[in-house]
Structure 1
Amino acid sequence: MPRPKTLPDRDVLEAALKIIHGGGPEALTFASLAKACGLSAATLVQRFGSKEDLKRAALLHAWDKLDGETARLATALPKTPAGAVRLLVGLSGNYGGIEAYAEGLLVLREDLRDPVLRARGAAWKAVLTGALDDCFADIPSAPSDVGLMMASVWQGALLWWGFDPKVDVAAFVEESLDRFVAALALSEPATAA
């Protein structure tokens, strides 16, 4: 089968992400991507420059997808604590099984090393925690930083699930976040008699 002459960047970057998630960031080379997408390695070098630029472009594409999914869920779900739980459970579906989650941690390492990718993570944190805060806006007793607290519980739940992945990740996350929301109600200060 002849090589395609053109392929949109989106499709090339999707192929690059599959390589990264399948074998870690070091598995992404121009040769491996050429084999996966059908373009020549020379064409890919012309398009992306260096291996580091290619990796960054693929990971920025992943951030674009996460931003889109976060916005979609934040818009579609009710602005309630239950909606906040559903938003984070919905985002948890992106992690898949334990092997995919473990490979995702290697990708996170790349995000933390690169200042451009780190900035995307910080921007996503602001959007996500703002969306979560909105879900508690009608609850006067909610802490002012409830969105950050809930996102932190979510990330912790994912990590603890990773050590003992006996149940579905979404079920584990949902149970953990439901307990967090219930604990918020228990922590209200007692009124003086």
Structure 2
Amino acid sequence: MARPRLVDDDVILDATRLVLAEVGPAKLTLAAVGARVGLAPPTLMQRFGSKRGLLLASAARSPQLVLRAAAAAEAANTSPLVILRDFVLSTVAHIERRAQLGNGLGFDVSDPEFREHALAHSAAVVNSCDRFYRAAVAAGELRPETDVQALARHTLVCFNGALQVWAVTGWGSLSTFLTEQLDLMLRPYLAMSAGLDARQPVR
């Protein structure tokens, strides 16, 4: 009979995410992850096969985390544009220092397996934004002629670009910098009749 698992995979992958932010994928070790959750490296090898297997499992989980963040933002707000902002900010809430963000960007997307998960992550972000923007048009927060699909993809570009710029410059806090970039991007699309002043932040 197999021994029951005392530590869930999600707990291990949460720890992996934290270690990745601290040291990056090249310096991550099974021992460092195991120390966070009280498991020996051979146990992690048994579950994930190798360090690469652990990193792939972490990358594969990334789209799920995006969808969870989207659902949590929807549950906490009623305004679609506020949902959008909270969703975007919550995905980087664990980032406190520029080095953490740089470490998290260290995956080789030329690797087919990691690229597949990166594409799934991007699709989860775009699809969530698309849904929020369609709701914002219906609620009168965005102009009715807004190209929602294009705006959703532009949001991914804005988000990823802002992260890379902040990782280098550290301009203010990450949440403030992201909020500023989102507000600038959305300003031309705001519907004045909704009571949202285009000169002010969305929130």
* Class of the TM-score when normalised by the shorter of the 2 chains: 0.7 to 0.9
What RMSD over aligned residues (CA atoms) do the two structures have, in Å? 2.7
Which protein is richer in helix relative to its size?
1
Query: What is the identity, as a one-letter code, of the residue corresponding to 2:117?
Result: L
Shift of 1:25: 0.8
2:171–2:177 contact (8 Å) kept in structure 1 = no
Once the two structures are overlaid, the 10-residue window that deviates more, 96-105 or 54-63, is 54-63
Aligned to 2:19: 19
**Is contact 1:79-1:136 (8 Å) kept?**
yes
Read off the aligned partner of 1:165 and give its amino acid letter: G
Give the whole-Å Cα distance in 2 for the aligned partners of 1:17 and 1:86: 21
Distance in 2 (CA, whole Å) between partners of 1:75 and 1:112 is: 36
Residue by residue over 1:96-141, the C-alpha shift from the partner in whole angstroms, topping out at 9 and shown as x without a partner, is 32121111211xx246632441342243134223234224323312
Give the alignment partner of residue 169 of structure 1, picking from 159, 174, 183. 174
Deviation at 1:92, TM superposition (A): 3.9
Does the 8 Å CA contact 2:23/2:103 hold for their aligned counterparts? yes
| Residues 1-193 of structure 1 aligned to structure 2 (within 5 Å) | 6-106=6-106, 109-110=107-108, 113=111, 114-138=114-138, 139-144=143-148, 145-185=150-190
Residues 1:59 and 1:150: Cα distance change in structure 2 (over 3 Å):
closer
Deviations 1:13-67 (A, max 9, x none): 2222222221111223333333333222222222111221121112333443232
Runs of at least 5 residues in structure 1 that lack an aligned partner in the other structure: 187-193
Post-superposition Cα deviations, 1:135-169, rounded to whole Å, max 9, x if no partner, equal: 43233121232222233223323333333213111
**TM-score of the two chains, using structure 2 as the length reference:** 0.73
Q: Distance in 1 between matches of 2:30 and 2:17?
A: 13
Q: Which has the larger radius of gyration?
A: 1
The alpha-carbon distance between structure 1 residues 23 and 57, as it changes in their structure 2 partners (threshold 3 A), is: same
Quick one: structure 1 residues 183 and 35, their matched pair in 2 at CA, closer, same or farther if it must change by over 3 Å?
same
- Which amino acid letter does the alignment assign opposite residue 100 of structure 2? A
Count of residues paired in the alignment: 180
1:135–1:90 Cα change, 3 Å = farther
Could you tell me which runs of 5 or more consecutive residues in structure 2 were left unpaired when the two chains were aligned.
192-203
Give identity over the alignment, percent.
19
Give the TM-score, by structure 1 length: 0.76
